[in-house]
Amino acid sequence: GQNIDQPTEMTATEGAIVQINCTYQTSGFNGLFWYQQHAGEAPTFLSYNVLDGLEEKGRFSSFLSRSKGYSYLLLKELQMKDSASYLCAVDNTNAGKSTFGDGTTLTVKP
């Protein structure tokens, strides 16, 4: 089966750094996605990690450790518009689909 865990809620201050963790237990792992979903909107793609290590994309970075079944999304220089739900998803192409975690709701406060 598939099991993906991430914190339900997090709060951070504007301008700060926040790290959102995701742990997973799956079979046939190919890679790990992070998506951002603002309230009332559809998810949008942020990152996709296949190999171990950190990938940086502007203010957002994503890290993967395949041996530990662990990933995190790092958001720097937080802005109010970063308040959203962040979804971790495992790409399990062997099963033909991705499995999503329940999401972490991030609230950025001034």
* Contact region with another protein (CB under 8 A), list: 16-24, 40-48, 60-68, 76-84: 40-48
**Both tokens assigned to 67:** 């041996």
CB of 39 to another protein, least distance (A): 9
CB of 33 to another protein, least distance (A): 6
CB 74 within 8 A of CB 62: yes
Our finding on whether 51 is near another protein (CB under 8 A) is: no
DSSP secondary structure of 3-47: EEE--SEEEEETT--EEEEEEEE-SS--EEEEEEE-TTS--EEEE
* Contact region with another protein (CB under 8 A), list: 18-26, 56-64, 67-75, 87-95: 87-95
Our finding on whether 82 is near another protein (CB under 8 A) is: no
29 CA to centre of own chain: 16
Rg (CA), the chain: 13
Our finding on whether 33 is near another protein (CB under 8 A) is: yes
Footprint on this chain of another protein (rule: CB under 8 A): 30-31, 33, 41-45, 48, 87, 91, 93, 95-103
